[in-house]
Structure 1
Amino acid sequence: MNEYGDIYSGHSRTRKRAVPEVSAERDLVAEDAATGFCGAVVGFERTYDGEFVKLEDRHGLVRLFAMREAAFLIDGQPVTLVRPKAAAPQRPTRSASGSTRVEGLRARVARGSRIWVEGVHDAALVERVWGHDLRVEGVVVEHLEGLDNLAAWLTEFEPGPQHRVGVLVDHLVAGSKETTLTTGLGPHVLVTGHPYIDVWQAVRPQALGIAEWPRVPRGEDWKTGVCRRLGWGTPQEGWRRVYDAVDSFRDLEAPLLGAVERLIDFVTETD
């Protein structure tokens, strides 16, 4: 070789032509260059010898071919088939509550107003379905550990125009203890609720794969009675079934949906 190097290295007759890579999308028609077998892509297989593509010809015959460089022809031109890139998962455009999902929003400072619920199960289901909305609005949900604590909490909180309180109550029906405890609490407190004995019952039976919630006689612990009749084990095990069955607002009964939506509107109205 002289000082000018290999003078033939760049000549068109000696330069290796680049072979394009083609994504082997399903139903793409390609020909195996070595055998002349022509067929549509119907799948892939990974073996110790490497990646193989499955081609199906017009008679329904399926054969495997190694996905080597320049091993295939498309429209008579050599190509290298490669596996299609996995599509990026689509981010949901709707939250679990059905509202428009807000992406890239910085955390908002919590509002002065609050939503109170009776227990941890109520709080967990509200977070499950409305968690995104509550973070967007800066609303904090707290559980009272029993409705009997409501009066003391209100005395300490001192509700006002910028410190509203929304209260979600189970079994809010005429003549019930819950109705008595939540009457006449002032203009800055809104009480909403549902007619069910427990928030579990506000989960649609279809979401749990049952025909209906069983009837439990008065005087028997409702959750224990439900779990025994459905074969769910302990109430702790039953709660896991209930919680895992809820993915969105579609898994909840309308009275609970309406009650929570009204509370969110109330506590965000004037802040």
Structure 2
Amino acid sequence: MRSYSPDLTPPWKKPKPVPTVEATTDLVVEEVSTGFCGAVIRCEANTVTLEDRFGKHRVFPLDPRGFLLDGKVVTLTRPAAPAPVRRDRTASGSVAVPTARARVARAGRIYVEGRHDAELVERVWGDDLRIEGVVVEYLSGIDDLPAIVADFAPGPDARLGILVDHLVPGSKESRIAASVTGSHVLVAGHPYIDVWEAVKPSSVGIAAWPRIPHGEDWKTGVCRALGWPENTGAAWQHILSKVTSYKDLEPELLGRVEELIDFVTTSPSGV
């Protein structure tokens, strides 16, 4: 007569034991149900936080048989000593490479609308851009964007990415962006009237960015509404000083800049 375990599960149907592995910092695993693959950056009582190669974070429960390590099922456990959060990060959240030298600039470029946009991109993504050899240049608006793109002449080895403010349906910016096409050029935009709005209000110490009546200079109106001196240059320096990492920016801007960097640094063939 065959024997059963106390939970009445036949012993021949019980899953085979799997290795138990401590979720130490930088251990790379794959979560079995979602296929999300990343490095451990934090492990708490019942959860583990993974970060993929694009800097995306996901939190998963420490379920038995919940992960793959080198293609084999394992059970992750909390380390005997809590795994420290990695500190060697750039402002964009990517892994810092202190010994890496700046790459010779690519032929490809990323264009942004104005100086403030360029300064914000440099502040958060500057380290990454230097390693990748990507130069960011600012335009004085995008009214002449079709001619600017034609003059640049994008190609397989010189891809062009363009970040546009207020790229929403029906806007002037959307109509201009729609006139720029080609497999070697990508226009990506955020919904904010100005890049100031892409900085989280909480990072600046305000409840929200004020709504400014149509027809009024937006930056001057913001300064007036917030009780700041009507010096937009000084106001921007104050805002920029509050940005220390990607966590201070809205996701709508983060995703678009990452998209442009990927586009410019990836060859059409994927090589």
Partner of 1:202: 198
* Structure 1 residue 182 displacement after superposition: 0.9
SS at 1:226 equivalent: helix
Identity %: 61
In structure 1, how many angstroms separate the alpha carbons of the residues matched to 2:210 and 2:144? 30
Cross-structure match for 2:248: 251
* Alignment-mate amino acid for residue 241 of structure 2: D
Structure 2: 5+ residue stretches without partners: 1-85
Post-superposition CA distance 1:159-181 (Å, at most 9, x none): 01111100000000001110111
Compute the TM-score of the two structures, normalised by the length of structure 2. Answer: 0.65
Rg larger in 1 or in 2?
A: 1
Q: Aligned ranges for residues 63-102 of structure 1 at < 5 Å?
A: 92-102=87-97
Q: Is the 8 A contact 2:162 2:188 kept in 1?
A: yes
**AA of the residue aligned to 1:263:** L
Instruction: Name the count of aligned residue pairs.
Output: 181
Offset, 1:92? 4.4
Deviation at 1:107, TM superposition (A): 2.2
| Alpha-carbon distance in 2 for matches of 1:243, 1:107 | 24
Paired residue for 2:112? 117
- CA RMSD of the aligned region, Å? 1.3
1:113–1:267 Cα contact (<8 Å) kept: yes
The 8 Å contact of residues 144 and 150 in structure 1, kept in 2 or not, is answered as: no
Tell me the SS of whatever aligns to 1:147.
coil
Q: Aligned equivalents of 1:163 and 1:265: distance in 2?
A: 13
* Greater shift in the superposed pair: 164-173 or 232-241: 232-241
How far apart in 2 are the matches of 1:152 and 1:109? 27
* Counterparts of 1:152 and 1:120, CA distance in 2: 20
Q: Which shows bigger deviation, 98-107 or 169-178? A: 98-107
Return the offset for 1:152: 2.2
Amino acid at match of 2:246: F
CA contact (8 A) 2:220 2:232 kept: yes
How far does residue 145 in structure 1 lie from its aligned partner after superposition?
A: 1.2
* 1:168/1:193 contact within 8 Å kept: yes
| Equivalent AA in structure 1 for residue 127 of structure 2 | H
Residue 156 of structure 2: aligned partner: 161
Distance between the aligned counterparts of 1:149 and 1:197, measured in 2? 19
The runs of at least 4 aligned residues of structure 1 exceeding 4 Å deviation read none
Kept in 1, the 8 Å contact 2:102–2:132? The answer is: no
Q: CA deviation at 1:102?
A: 1.0
Unaligned runs of 5+ in 1: 1-90
Q: Is the 8 A contact 1:227 1:238 kept in 2?
A: yes
1:134 and 1:110 map into 2 onto residues whose CA distance is 9
Q: Hey, what's the Cα distance between the residues in 1 that align with 2:197 and 2:101?
A: 35
